[in-house]
Structure 1
Amino acid sequence: MSWLPVAADSGFGLDNLPYGVFSTPGTAPRTGVAVGDQVLDLAAATGDDVHATGSLNAFMARGPSAWAAVRRQLQERLGDPAHRATVEPHLLPRADVTLQLPVEVADYVDFYSSRHHAEALGRMFRPGSPPLPPNWEHLPIGYHGRAGTVAVSGTPVVRPCGQRKPADADPVLGASQRLDIEAEVGFLVGVGSPLGTAVPLADFAEHVFGVCLVNDWSARDLQAWEYVPLGPFLGKSFLTSVSPWVVPLAALEPARVAPPARDPQPLPYLRDDDHPWGLDITLEVRLNGELVSSPPFREMYWTAAQQLAHLTVNGASLRTGDLFASGTVSGPGARERGSLIELCWGGAEPLTLADGSTRTFLEDGDVVTISATAPGPDDSRIGFGEVTGQVLPAR
Structure 2
Amino acid sequence: MPPFDVPEGDPFGPHNLPYGVFSPPGSSERTVGVRLGDHVLDAGAAAHALGSPYASLLARPTLNPLLAAGRTAWSDVRRAITAWVTVPAHRETVEPLFHPLSEVTLHLPFEVADYVDFYASENHARNVGRIFRPDAPDSLTPNWKHLPIGYHGRSGTVVVSGTDVVRPAGQRKAPSDPAPVFGPSVRLDIEAEVGFVVGVPSPMGRPVPLGAFRDHVFGLCLLNDWSARDIQAWEYVPLGPFLGKSFATSVSAWITPLDALDAARVAPPERTHELLPYLDDSDEEPGGYDLRMSVSINGHVVAEPPFSTMYWTAAQQLAHMTVNGASLRTGDLYGSGTVSGPAERERGSLLELTWNGREPLELPDGKRTFLEDGDVVTLSAWAPGPDGVRVGLGEVTGRIVPAS
After TM superposition, the score normalised by the length of structure 2 is 0.96
Q: Does residue 149 in structure 1 map to residue 157 in structure 2?
A: yes
After superposition, the C-alpha distances for 1:208-259 in whole angstroms (9 at most, x for unaligned) are 0010010000000000001111110000000000000000010011000000
Q: Does residue 28 in structure 1 map to residue 37 in structure 2?
A: no
1-structure distance, mates of 2:176, 2:384: 50
Deviation at 1:78, TM superposition (A): 1.2
2-structure distance, mates of 1:171, 1:40: 52
Which of 335, 345, 350 is the equivalent residue of 1:340?
Answer: 350
Deviation at 1:7, TM superposition (A): 2.2
Q: Does residue 175 in structure 1 map to residue 176 in structure 2?
A: no
Q: Does residue 202 in structure 1 map to residue 211 in structure 2?
A: yes
Deviation at 1:5, TM superposition (A): 1.0
* SS, match of residue 344 in structure 2: coil
- What is residue 68 of structure 1 aligned with on the other side? 75
- Aligned amino acid, residue 393 of structure 1: P
Deviation at 1:150, TM superposition (A): 0.2
Q: Does structure 1 retain, via aligned residues, the 8 Å contact 2:210–2:281?
A: yes
2-structure distance, mates of 1:291, 1:354: 11
* SS, match of residue 39 in structure 1: strand
- What is residue 309 of structure 2 aligned with on the other side? 299
- What is residue 275 of structure 1 aligned with on the other side? 285
Q: Does structure 1 retain, via aligned residues, the 8 Å contact 2:3–2:37?
A: no
Deviation at 1:50, TM superposition (A): 2.2
Q: Does residue 241 in structure 1 map to residue 230 in structure 2?
A: no
Deviation at 1:3, TM superposition (A): 8.4
Q: Does residue 163 in structure 1 map to residue 171 in structure 2?
A: yes
Deviation at 1:26, TM superposition (A): 2.1
* SS, match of residue 10 in structure 1: coil
Q: Does residue 190 in structure 1 map to residue 199 in structure 2?
A: yes
- Aligned amino acid, residue 69 of structure 2: R
2-structure distance, mates of 1:96, 1:8: 23
2-structure distance, mates of 1:230, 1:353: 35
Q: Does structure 2 retain, via aligned residues, the 8 Å contact 1:180–1:217?
A: yes
Which of 127, 135, 142 is the equivalent residue of 1:134?
Answer: 142
Q: Does structure 1 retain, via aligned residues, the 8 Å contact 2:222–2:252?
A: yes
1-structure distance, mates of 2:342, 2:332: 30
Which of 98, 103, 106 is the equivalent residue of 1:91?
Answer: 98
Deviation at 1:281, TM superposition (A): 0.2
Deviation at 1:11, TM superposition (A): 1.1
* SS, match of residue 346 in structure 2: coil
2-structure distance, mates of 1:363, 1:167: 22
- What is residue 351 of structure 1 aligned with on the other side? 361
Q: Does structure 1 retain, via aligned residues, the 8 Å contact 2:14–2:85?
A: yes
- What is residue 398 of structure 2 aligned with on the other side? 389
- Aligned amino acid, residue 35 of structure 2: A
After TM superposition, the score normalised by the length of structure 1 is 0.98
Q: Does residue 115 in structure 1 map to residue 122 in structure 2?
A: yes
Q: Does structure 2 retain, via aligned residues, the 8 Å contact 1:3–1:84?
A: no
2-structure distance, mates of 1:45, 1:364: 43
Which of 326, 331, 339 is the equivalent residue of 1:321?
Answer: 331
2-structure distance, mates of 1:53, 1:84: 23
Q: Percent identity?
A: 62
Q: Does structure 2 retain, via aligned residues, the 8 Å contact 1:201–1:308?
A: yes
Q: Does structure 2 retain, via aligned residues, the 8 Å contact 1:159–1:391?
A: yes
Deviation at 1:154, TM superposition (A): 0.8
Deviation at 1:160, TM superposition (A): 0.2
- Aligned amino acid, residue 153 of structure 2: G
Q: Does residue 228 in structure 1 map to residue 229 in structure 2?
A: no
1-structure distance, mates of 2:204, 2:183: 41
* SS, match of residue 352 in structure 1: strand
1-structure distance, mates of 2:216, 2:34: 21
* SS, match of residue 346 in structure 1: coil
Deviation at 1:378, TM superposition (A): 0.3
Q: Does structure 1 retain, via aligned residues, the 8 Å contact 2:3–2:39?
A: no
Q: Does structure 1 retain, via aligned residues, the 8 Å contact 2:194–2:337?
A: yes
Deviation at 1:385, TM superposition (A): 1.8
Q: CA RMSD in A?
A: 1.1
2-structure distance, mates of 1:212, 1:3: 23
* SS, match of residue 197 in structure 1: coil
* SS, match of residue 76 in structure 2: helix
Q: How many residues align?
A: 393
For structure 1, the residue ranges without an aligned partner over 5 or more in a row are none
Q: Does residue 250 in structure 1 map to residue 259 in structure 2?
A: yes
2-structure distance, mates of 1:122, 1:3: 49
2-structure distance, mates of 1:178, 1:3: 44
2-structure distance, mates of 1:277, 1:204: 10
- What is residue 124 of structure 1 aligned with on the other side? 131
Q: Does structure 1 retain, via aligned residues, the 8 Å contact 2:196–2:333?
A: yes
